[in-house]
Structure 1
Amino acid sequence: MPVVNMHEAKSSLSRLVEAVASGEEDEIVIARNGKPAAKLLPIEGSRKGGVRLGLAAGKYRSISLEEFNSTDDTIAAMFDGSEVEPSR
């Protein structure tokens, strides 16, 4: 939780609001004469953000590129209707 003085807050308000809105900072305290006077917080639900990556980490085993590509012929056959021996 960074603390900024009133002068810095006035001169860089846009940057501070963006830091809180984007989630870069949870909150920013604005101080007057070295004493906390106000707190800048995001409005609930307003955080910018995309999809959180890595939520499935460790849930699936890793496979090689060759193993991944081994079903290409089977999948292609499903699309064009031909029959292919399933790979093992």
Structure 2
Amino acid sequence: MEIRSITPCKSGPDIQHVIAQLDNEIDIAKACESLKTEDGKSIKFLRCSEELGAIRFTSGAMMVLVYKSGKITIRHAASEEVAKGLLDRIAELVE
């Protein structure tokens, strides 16, 4: 996984917006099933669309989008370390 950018969110300078790219494309249906095991624990409001090729959910205050292409965006991360930890967990679940 490659982290492509880390920038401050428009909502505040202490909040991060992170864009990462996984090495492979993602099977949305399979990834959604894997993420459902976390639903209600660290992941809430899980929404999956094979038609759009995207998965959306929240984790705490962070809003996460996972795309079929392997791109992952995290908005409202409290820190770079928090975002990286979540990215690692997502990569484990969707690859």
Normalised TM-score (structure 2): 0.22
**Structure with greater strand percent:** 2
Normalised TM-score (structure 1): 0.23
**Structure with greater helix percent:** 1
Larger Rg: 1
Relative contact order higher in (CA < 8 Å, ≥ 6 apart):
2
